Amino acid sequence: MSQPTEPKLPESDIPESVARRRMIQSFGWFALAAAVPVGVYEWITHSPKLLGVKKPLRRVLDVNEEVARTYFSNTHMVPTFSVQDAAQKARVNGYDGIKTPIPEDWKLQIDRPGAEPLMLTIDDVKALPKYDMVYEFKCIEGWSQVQHWSGARLSDFLEKYKLGTKSGNAPNPDATDDLFKHVGMETPDKGYYVGIDIESAMHPQTLLAYELNGEPITAPHGAPLRLIIPVKYGVKNLKRIGRIFFSDTRPRDFWTERGYDYYVGL
């Protein structure tokens, strides 16, 4: 197997908005989630003096509640396009974990705390409401393409199968402590694997996708089921999902092990 050599995006090529968001990320997603909707980010950056002023504890609690709501409402949406704008032929990139034939007995394995793993079929995923996502897929190698994917929202999936929580209940905006911090996914042969923060996993535009351009996904694009996560670069969009699990520690990540940023958000 040849050494993977996805070139790292030079810092100077990173748009200012991305650089700023990265800075905010290091400050913490919770801070961003809390700050943007209530204008606190502006307040902090433009009125540093006020930071020294003691605020009633109640205000802090309000902000915490805002965090919990935002966690679920996920107001930041990636721009979408009409179906006609999608490339007729989607580009293929990356074969790690999909070099062997798709296992004939393929099932989607979902690990759960204190319970047997769920073993699901593609029909189980198709039973959920179907969404189309036409958006600009971006690879850190420097290419992008408007692509049309369809599938079930990962958030609907977690809700239906009561996943991502320590209690075994469905995710609940009033109990974010109950949520695991990360989702891990890997191919059936474990040749490719990603870790994703739960906020991005539960974003309304994140799909368990089974169609590309209205047709079942082909093997090179990740049949029978792949992750489409528009708030992340291509690397996190794992093809041929075999297993999904949840944890509070970062799941291992193929490209992070090869020197990439873990978060790789847009």
Q: How far is the CB of 234 from ligand MTE (least distance, A)?
A: 3
Residue selected from 31, 102, 139, 170 as contacting Mo ion according to rule CB under 5 A: 139
Q: How far is the CB of 97 from Mo ion (least distance, A)?
A: 14
Q: Are 216 and 150 in contact (CB under 8 A)?
A: no
- Residue 4 vs 39, nearer CB to ligand MTE: 4
Distance of CA 81 to the CA centre of its chain: 20
Q: For the beta carbon of residue 106, count every other beta carbon within 10 angstroms.
A: 16
Q: For the beta carbon of residue 130, count every other beta carbon within 10 angstroms.
A: 14
Q: Are 205 and 266 in contact (CB under 8 A)?
A: no
Which pair of tokens denotes residue 246?
Answer: 């949840």
Q: Which does 97 bind (CB under 5 to 8 A by kind): ligand MTE, Mo ion, none?
A: ligand MTE
Q: Pick from 78, 65, 16: which is nearest to 38 by CA?
A: 65
Q: Which does 230 bind (CB under 5 to 8 A by kind): ligand MTE, Mo ion, none?
A: none
Establish whether the linkage from the previous residue to 224 is cis, with ω within 30° of 0.
Answer: yes
Contact between 266 and Mo ion (CB under 5 A)? no
Q: How far is the CB of 113 from Mo ion (least distance, A)?
A: 32
**What does the binding site for ligand MTE look like in residue numbers (CB under 6 A)?**
90-98, 139, 187, 192, 221, 234-235, 237-240
Q: Which does 187 bind (CB under 5 to 8 A by kind): Mo ion, ligand MTE, none?
A: ligand MTE
Q: What is the pattern of x (binds Mo ion, CB under 5 A) and - over residues 53-82?
A: ------------------------------
From the number of C-beta atoms within 10 Å of its C-beta (0-12, 13-18, 19+), residue 37 rates as middle
Q: How far is the CB of 49 from ligand MTE (least distance, A)?
A: 45
In the window 227-256, what residues touch Mo ion (CB under 5 A)? Answer: 234
Q: How far is the CB of 258 from ligand MTE (least distance, A)?
A: 11
Question: Half-sphere exposure of residue 53, counting CA atoms within 13 Å on the CB side?
Answer: 9
Which pair of tokens denotes residue 251?
Answer: 């799941």
- Output DSSP code: residue 165: B
Q: Are 214 and 148 in contact (CB under 8 A)?
A: yes
Please choose, out of 49-57, 111-119, 132-140, 258-266, the segment that lies near Mo ion by the rule CB under 5 A: 132-140
- Residue 155 vs 237, nearer CB to Mo ion: 237
Question: What residues make contact with Mo ion under the rule CB under 5 A?
Answer: 139, 234
